[in-house]
Structure 1
Amino acid sequence: MNQWFPFLDWMKKYDLKEDFKGDMIAGLIVAIMLIPQGMAYAMLAGLPPVMGLYASTVPLILYALFGTSRQLSVGPVAMVSLLIFTGVSGLAEPGSDQYISLVFLLAFMVGVIQLLMGIFKLGAISKFISHAVISGFTSAAAIIIGMSQLKHLIGVEIEASNNVFLIIAEVFTRLNEIHLPTLLIGLGSIFILVLFKKKIKKIPGALVVVVTMIAIVGFLQLNEIGVGIVGNVPDGLPSLSIPSLNIPAINTLLPIAFTIVIIGFVESYAMAKVIATKERYTIHANKELNGLGIANIGTSFFSGFPVTGGFSRSAVNYDAGARTGLASIITGAIILLTLLFFTSWFYYLPQAVLAAIIIVAVYGLIDVKEVFHLWNIKRIDAISLLVTFSATLVIGIEAGIATGVVFSILNFVYRSSKPHMAELGYIEENQTYRNVNRYPMAKTKDDVLIVRIDAAIYFANISYIEERLSDFINNKQDLKAIILDFSGVNDMDAVAIDDLGKWIDQIREENVKISLAQVKGPVRDLLKKAGWTKKYGDVIQHPTIETALLKLGK
């Protein structure tokens, strides 16, 4: 039962005295934060604002029951909202019935993919996307998100949608059209949000901004002079929605669905793991996929859109005292009550306020420090980040992350094709063998070459390894014996074994003895299967370099 219902684990140990107070307070605070955020992210996704509230009810409750994190706050997030808009806006007019229907289908697809990945234990796939790629993509997407909200912030309908450079160019050509009251509301909202975020952290800045600006716009009737407002927000519970399984639409949406699955899961799992480590309980990647998958399937049937765990909300949820998934259930229940009784309160909510909430939320995702950090440690990782960042800004969201992933894979293949190799010498002081380039005092013999290989050996790097060995050999005048230190070799493939065997045969024909030392068990098993024990005798059996030297008479 715990496999599919992780909530049973925390429910058995639930302490009404100790846990309920924290869950209640956290649930209330996150609901206050999520109501304006949800509406803002729905607007970012090209959907009616009320759908942000729908996506903040059923998915939260489902994740609390099926997810393994006790503090992760699942719901609409900026990154996924942008991906929804990017993937669906090319197929239908944002906000139209067809557009909304495709979003339901997309949510269902995301949920099914996540659930299948969880069932087939494919959670480790996300680890193949490097942190540098995610960081570069996130920073670029944050800029795109911020720029996409300029039209609501300045009160001018901008035709350019996702291309940052076109948006900036169009804004500059239409500066004279800026609607001053809208701009003042937007900038004022940003100022208040930043102020509360930095100076008055205990009070949700979004709530203050929403209440203040609704009151100002409603009292002064600023909507009559052109300030864009949310208008009528339908009340009542989310209606039942059945995703239309249209095969051509599924094929078209598949790339963006996989992008949302990977980006959403990486963001969610990273935050869940951080909190779980602090609280000393275990997070299971595959169970997390199950929980997110069920939450997204649920949102597709209750008029929502794709969701995942959010960084900022989860941090707030945790800091506010959430002890278990009940906090998220309370958040969902409060938003359901809002849908039933309080949607009319949002009539005068300015769209510029929602834009300000999005801009402030994504500003923290732009990570300039990470570029310098990676550059100082390993420049190729910083280059991966910059390639992904640039590609995302210039050629678009999907192509950008695909470029980053391909670049990082090619970089990995390139690095693994040129593994580190070192000639070893003996240090009498501590009786060890060390790299002669790092330890000039290490003693070598003119007639013996000892080389350590620090990587798995496979078809892509065996030629390079043979070339480097030839270089080492050419530096020895009276070479009589070679010892290959395999302590750093964790694996070999069949092609590498065959090629290395041919190289050994050539060396032996030149009357040079050769031995392998410190070969690990799994590699030794492979060599035995390849017939090396019969062909070369005990050449692969030496547990240390010293025993190999003794056997060679050196």
Structure 2
Amino acid sequence: MSHRVTDELGEKEMDITTISSSFHHSENLPYVHKVGVPPKKDLLKEFTTTLKETFLPDDPLRPFKDQPRSKKLVIGLQTIFPILEWGRNYNLSKFKGDLVAGLTIASLCIPQDIGYASLANLPSHYGLYSSFVPPLVYAVMGSSRDIAIGPVAVVSLLLGTLLRNEIDPTNNIDDYLRLAFTATFFAGITQFTLGFFRLGFLIEFLSHAAIVGFMAGAAITIALQQLKGLLGIKNFTKKTDIVSVMRSVWSTVHHGWNWQTMFIGISFLAFLLFAKYIGKKNKKLFWVTAIAPLISVIISTFFVYITHAENQGVQIVQHIQKGINPSSLDQIYFSGRYLVKGFKIGVVAGMIALTEAVAIGRTFAAMKDYQLDGNKEMVALGTMNIVGSMTSCYIATGSFSRSAVNFMAGCNTAVSNIVMSCVVLLTLELITPLFKYTPNAILASIIISAVIGLVDIDAMILIWKIDKFDFIACMGAFFGVVFASVEIGLLIAVSISFAKILFQVTRPRTAILGKLPRTTVYRNIQQYPDATKVPGVLIVRVDSAIYFSNSNYIKERILRWLTDEEELLKENKQPRIQYLIVEMSPVTDIDTSGIHALEELYKSLQKRDVQLVLANPGQVVMDKLHASKFATLIGEDKIFLTVGDAILTCAPKMEET
């Protein structure tokens, strides 16, 4: 087997024996770069730098530097209220786009809000309340131009499920409402705290795959819950799992279904799905999808009114309270046994609402190529829900369906939310009595058509192709929601996400490297089959930081590589391993346990008469190797800039032996 390397300029090749002789017989020895030792840092400065990089990577104080006091005040106000910044350049042209977008999403949100309130087991007008005050607050404090604020299906279902586990809304609606406002208050506090202390990275622990599965499972659960309204069933299970729901549906097939209700519900569901299909096929017809729910409500309400279908068993909304949001500050539990329960429910629902809103905001910000400050968004969303809890609202967040319509309608700023809020205000003041004869079947159809889009089959297929462990997380969350409950599915999603993190941290990848032909590049021999091993040398790469959680595994894995390689060489009667080179460029950090593991590895190699060599440790790692005296233990001459440099040095020494 021929083993060749190139010189530094890559202009000519030479085999290892030639390199060896050049070391002994030539005055022009190949130049080997030495790894630089970083200067010692001041402990306090290093600590503050680490904290700043972790919590303040974008340096929020930068705009205030070298500014007069009056200018700092203006910048501070603009930071808290972004509307003061972009509002200076607002004009009639932008307002035209925002007006059209606001009217469009208002036509979509009004029927949706009435239906989503039922998912939260709340009277219908609370859904409209939640699309009046929160969007106004967000428009002043939010930084996204495209996100549309209001109740959403998944959070409504989650909130309704968690609240109903504590209080029965049928028998005790007053305490149920108070607990809902309390949960909304603490959801806002949670969101505000995460943003204010710049802890937004915590929501990243729920993986994309788990969110896809959770959303799909929640969509199926929500759709199943709507069978009650779609089929006209009066006695329906309070459980959300698919087994209980289907048992409840089939047990009433002969005496509980209402054919008039089914006709209304299925007919308009087909109409809504057809409208959605048209909007998807032709982006210019997005308004068809947006206005279809309101048209369905108007037509079905008129049909029920003139035929008095309610007398034939068709269930109707009956009454939606007229007027704007009353104060609910005095109804929030700040003490008593429901305080802790409200806090727990608020934290869970607030985190899910936050995850959905930030994901939506980032999606549309990327499409329009502008930056979105996640921490500012959290502060805005938190403030919005805190104020909402005091004005008879339940948890509001960014809605994907409404935000998509808002985007396609040509919104330019958050003024579209203000327009939508004004339309909802007019609805509350003038139109709510007209919804009296709206059939529940229409609301069920609207909700089903809205949540179907949450089942993202393409994303699931892509997850399967990319990462099987991610797919397990996705399916675990999905089946947990569908076959157990929303909270169980959420728990499974979080658990699997953490399990994946722990698995990747405790069992990092390692690889044996070989030299690519006609280069001095060393790569994974499994990824590059033509890469060849260097005789007498085992090159191992560690693809992770070395911490207490994985240090023993890495040490044992390297020793297993070495044992397997020695057995293979012995069988083939080839020269034994004399050098173990550990390529450390992917090792971003190392702790005390990692240093201790390297020391144990060094001692084990000494017993086998194998030299330990390190290649390309980073600044942080190199600093700790020197601080721990490990660099002195193995020898400064055993640490190289590249694997190629290490081979150039080791090769002549192997020739001597």
- Look up the equivalent residue of 2:83 and give its one-letter code: F
Q: Pick from 155, 158, 178 the counterpart of residue 80 of structure 1.
A: 155
Choose 477-486 or 533-542, whichever is displaced more: 533-542
1:118, distance to aligned residue in structure 2 (A): 0.8
Q: CA offsets, 1:426-484, max 9 Å, x none?
A: 23423211223333433333322221111222223222222222233222352222211
Q: Hey, what does 2:135 align to over in structure 1?
A: 60
2:80 alignment partner, SS class? coil
Counterpart CA distance in 2 for 1:367 and 1:444 is 45
1:126 alignment partner, SS class? helix
Q: What is the TM-score of this pair, normalised by structure 1?
A: 0.96
2:647 is aligned with 1:549: yes
1:36, distance to aligned residue in structure 2 (A): 0.7
Q: Hey, what does 1:496 align to over in structure 2?
A: 594
1:205, distance to aligned residue in structure 2 (A): 0.6
Q: Hey, what does 2:85 align to over in structure 1?
A: 9
2:580 is aligned with 1:482: yes
Counterpart CA distance in 2 for 1:227 and 1:100 is 27
1:487, distance to aligned residue in structure 2 (A): 1.4
Counterpart CA distance in 1 for 2:241 and 2:248 is 11
Q: How many pairs are equivalent?
A: 553
Q: For 1:1-400, what aligned pairs fall within 5 Å after superposition?
A: 1-16=77-92, 18-94=93-169, 96-157=173-234, 158-176=236-254, 177-199=256-278, 201-203=286-288, 204-242=291-329, 243-400=332-489
Q: CA offsets, 1:515-544, max 9 Å, x none?
A: 101111111122222222333331564111
Pair member with larger Rg:
2
- Look up the equivalent residue of 2:118 and give its one-letter code: M
Counterpart CA distance in 2 for 1:212 and 1:218 is 10
Counterpart CA distance in 2 for 1:246 and 1:161 is 30
Q: Pick from 521, 525, 548 the counterpart of residue 623 of structure 2.
A: 525
Counterpart CA distance in 1 for 2:360 and 2:612 is 51
Q: Hey, what does 2:9 align to over in structure 1?
A: none
Cα distance change on mapping 1:540 and 1:165 into 2, 3 Å: farther
Q: For the Cα contact (< 8 Å) 1:83–1:256, is it kept in 2?
A: no
2:438 is aligned with 1:438: no
Q: CA offsets, 1:181-237, max 9 Å, x none?
A: 111111112011112211264231101101100110011111122211111222111
Counterpart CA distance in 1 for 2:144 and 2:379 is 12
Counterpart CA distance in 2 for 1:102 and 1:441 is 66
- Look up the equivalent residue of 1:202 and give its one-letter code: W
Counterpart CA distance in 2 for 1:142 and 1:420 is 37
Counterpart CA distance in 1 for 2:475 and 2:454 is 15
Cα distance change on mapping 1:539 and 1:383 into 2, 3 Å: farther
- Look up the equivalent residue of 1:171 and give its one-letter code: V
Counterpart CA distance in 1 for 2:444 and 2:539 is 65
Counterpart CA distance in 2 for 1:468 and 1:235 is 70
Runs of 5+ unmatched residues, structure 2: 1-76, 280-285, 570-575
Q: CA offsets, 1:155-204, max 9 Å, x none?
A: 11213432221110121111012011111111112011112211264231
Q: For the Cα contact (< 8 Å) 1:533–1:539, is it kept in 2?
A: no
Counterpart CA distance in 2 for 1:183 and 1:413 is 49
Cα distance change on mapping 1:323 and 1:438 into 2, 3 Å: closer
1:444 alignment partner, SS class? coil
Q: What is the TM-score of this pair, normalised by structure 2?
A: 0.81
- Look up the equivalent residue of 1:500 and give its one-letter code: L
Cα distance change on mapping 1:542 and 1:154 into 2, 3 Å: same
Root-mean-square deviation (Å)? 1.7
Counterpart CA distance in 2 for 1:369 and 1:277 is 20
Counterpart CA distance in 2 for 1:438 and 1:312 is 43
Runs of 5+ unmatched residues, structure 1: none
Choose 466-475 or 488-497, whichever is displaced more: 466-475
Counterpart CA distance in 2 for 1:25 and 1:492 is 56
- Look up the equivalent residue of 2:237 and give its one-letter code: E
1:247, distance to aligned residue in structure 2 (A): 4.3
Counterpart CA distance in 1 for 2:590 and 2:390 is 49
- Look up the equivalent residue of 2:361 and give its one-letter code: A
Counterpart CA distance in 2 for 1:163 and 1:443 is 56
1:498, distance to aligned residue in structure 2 (A): 0.9
Counterpart CA distance in 2 for 1:71 and 1:506 is 60
Cα distance change on mapping 1:247 and 1:503 into 2, 3 Å: farther
Cα distance change on mapping 1:31 and 1:166 into 2, 3 Å: same
Q: For the Cα contact (< 8 Å) 1:160–1:170, is it kept in 2?
A: no
1:526 alignment partner, SS class? helix
Counterpart CA distance in 2 for 1:36 and 1:441 is 63
Identity of aligned residues (%): 33
Q: CA offsets, 1:64-89, max 9 Å, x none?
A: 11111011101010011101111111
